[in-house]
Amino acid sequence: MSVLRVYGQSLDLDAALAACRLKVCATQCRGEKGVSDSDRGFSQNAIFVEFTDVGIDDFERQVENALSFLSQNQTAIADLVGARGVEEAYLDCCIPRLDVAAQSAVFSTRLVHAAGRLNLGLCLSLYEVS
């Protein structure tokens, strides 16, 4: 699953969720304990919006779906990213971690430009696959 991640220490989750026109798949509250988080809990509030359910083995399709998501939801994304308290927002794509000396995947120029126009960063998460 690849998601739009929106973070902020002072992000008002209730207000942002009430105004959000995107399908939110998860939230995280500052201070809440996560599966792999420290004893102090999360340092920021966050909203997560799934933009594709394409598996980690199809990076090219994740990128295509990200472009469609950005194109079809420009105003809703801009509103969410522009919400009071948002400090960071990015699209998080995922790929399997390979047993190699070096590994890379390249975001298309089109995606970089489309994300940049909406003040979004890009993230590539590597996951261990058994």
Residue 96 parent element (H or E): strand 88-96
Q: Report the C-alpha gap between 23 and 130 in whole angstroms.
A: 30
Q: Quick one: pLDDT band at residue 39, thresholds 50, 70, 90?
A: low
51 contacts 66 by C-beta, under 8 angstroms? yes
Q: Quick one: pLDDT band at residue 41, thresholds 50, 70, 90?
A: confident
pTM: 0.89
Give the model's pLDDT for residue 85: 96
Strands 2-8 and 45-52, by their bridges, are antiparallel
Does residue 130 surpass a pLDDT of 90? no
Q: What is the pLDDT of residues 66-120, one digit of tens each?
A: 999 999 999 999 999 999 999 999 999 999 998 889 999 999 999 999 999 999 9
Question: What b/e string do you get for 28-49 counting C-beta neighbours within 10 Å, with b at 16 or more?
Answer: bebeeeeeeeeeeebebbbbbb
